[in-house]
Structure 1
Amino acid sequence: MNTTPSYRTIAGDGLWSNNLGLVQLLGLCPLLAVSGTAINGLGLGLATLLVLLGANLCVSLIRHWIRPEIRIPVFVLIIASFVTAVELLMSAYFHQLFLILGIFIPLIVTNCGILGRAEAFASKQPPLPAAADALAVGGGFLLVLVVLGGLRELLAQGTLFSQAHLMFGDWGRGLSVTLLEDYRGYLLAALPPGAFIGLGLLLALKNLIDQRRAAVAKAAPALTTQQANTP
Structure 2
Amino acid sequence: MKTRMIHMSPPQTLISVFTLFITLGTFLLKLPSATSNGITFMDALFTATSAMTVTGLVVIDTGTAFTLFGQIIILVLIQVGGLGIMTFAVLIYMVLGKKIGIKERLLIQQALNQTSLGGVIRLVRKLFIFSITIEALAVVFLSLRWVPEMGMAKGIYASIFHSISAFNNAGFSIWSDSLSAYAVDPLVNIVITLLFIIGGIGFTVVFDLWRSKEFYHLSLHTKIM
The TM-score, its normalising length taken from structure 1, stands at 0.30
* Bigger Cα Rg: 1
Select the structure that is richer in helix. Answer: 1
The TM-score, its normalising length taken from structure 2, stands at 0.30
Higher relative contact order (CA 8 A, sep 6+): 1
